[in-house]
Homo-oligomer: A and B are copies of this chain.
């Protein structure tokens, strides 16, 4: 294998903010980066050796891009996996492996994998037709999810009763028993080719019941040591069962009875790990690089309380982005702004994130609320 510092060419499928932050880190190792993205104004466009505009789902485009690099990784799962398989056969390293991406692309296969490997998850049924949906043994209310291409709440439908079935998806889907959860939690785990596996400490999502939205992420968790350990063990087991090489984000529910149920996987850096840039000894981006380059994994300890809030486009605003309140936010110590280089804002588009650190947890939360009320993306 070529040395990862200098002569190795890394290809990234996807040129969004995850790719951008991965590049920010890869600069430290002299990695030569090429990026493929359909959007010619994607966040990575000016930060790499070569930026190729093209479809991530087109076989030829992905194959031709992959032939020019030594190692291929992703920052989005929705890519042409057949091309990745062929590239692997021809000796290109693809991390995470094509079989892992194929499995995770399909929420039905993901759930079946959980079942086969005794990974706790909400009761579910794979649905292939509207008839099968009507006959499902899962009791109302339940959640219907498209097997493919759902993200950020898209492709998800709540079925409360018989009448709601009229609006249900007709494409291949799965239905899941509704979890009355106490909290959403996530653990990011990394595995390198040598089989070394390391988790980041558990992260909690703080939910805002008024806005019906995840308000912010906070780490380290104040949940019991047992729950934290169990969640980390589950994440480790999944990484090992999958034999993934790279980063894996494991989103979980903690239900009211204290039981952990795995919700979804993402085989890449993830929104629930952004606070690691300032909050942990190594960031998720550094860890992903170490994993795919088969280097020793880094120490994941939390350095202080860290809160991450997404900077979303304000509702009612669409067009060239204007950032309000940055100067006020920069006056707060321990507040780190990350903008994603997107020229156009639209309602709820992820335009950036802010990490707030403090040795005092309550103070960190107070500062996070202030940032949330102060920093606005309008047009």
Interface residues, chain A, CB within 8 Å of chain B? 3, 5-6, 20, 24, 27-30, 46-49, 281, 290, 295-296, 298-299, 301, 303, 321-323, 326-327, 330-331, 333-334, 336-341, 343
Contacts and interface: CB of A to CB of B under 8 A. Distances in A.
14 contacts: A3-B323, A5-B326, A6-B339, A6-B343, A27-B341, A28-B337, A46-B47, A46-B49, A47-B47, A290-B330, A295-B326, A295-B327, A296-B331, A301-B333
B296 A330 contact: yes
A10 to B, nearest CB: 13
A336 B295 contact: no
A348 B30 CA distance: 19
A263 to B, nearest CB: 30
Given A3-B323, A321-B6, A326-B5, A337 B29 contact: yes
A348 to B, nearest CB: 19
A330 B27 contact: no
How many protomers of this protein does the assembly include? 2
A323 to B, nearest CB: 5
Contact of A327 (B20, B28, B296): B296
A3 B322 contact: yes
Nearest to A303: B303
Shortest 8 CB-CB contacts between residues of A and residues of B: A299-B333, A296-B331, A30-B339, A296-B330, A28-B338, A30-B341, A46-B49, A295-B330
B28 A336 contact: yes
Given A3-B322, A48-B46, A323-B6, A334 B28 contact: no
A189 B211 CA distance: 43
Nearest to A336: B28
Contacts of A6: 321, 323, 339, 343
Nearest to A294: B327
Contacts of A28: 336-339
Nearest to A328: B296
Given A281-B333, A298-B330, A334-B299, A27 B29 contact: no
A241 B65 CA distance: 55
Nearest to A48: B46
Given A296-B327, A296-B331, 17 more contacts: A3-B323, A5-B339, A6-B323, A24-B27, A27-B47, A28-B336, A28-B338, A30-B339, A30-B341, A46-B47, A281-B333, A290-B330, A295-B327, A299-B333, A299-B334, A301-B333, A303-B303
Nearest to A25: B24
A24 B24 CA distance: 6
A326 B298 CA distance: 13
A343 to B, nearest CB: 8
A326 B28 CA distance: 12
Given A6-B321, A322-B3, A334 B281 contact: yes
A24 B331 CA distance: 21
Contact of A323 (B5, B281, B290, B331): B5
A327 B6 CA distance: 14
Contacts of A27: 20, 24, 47, 341
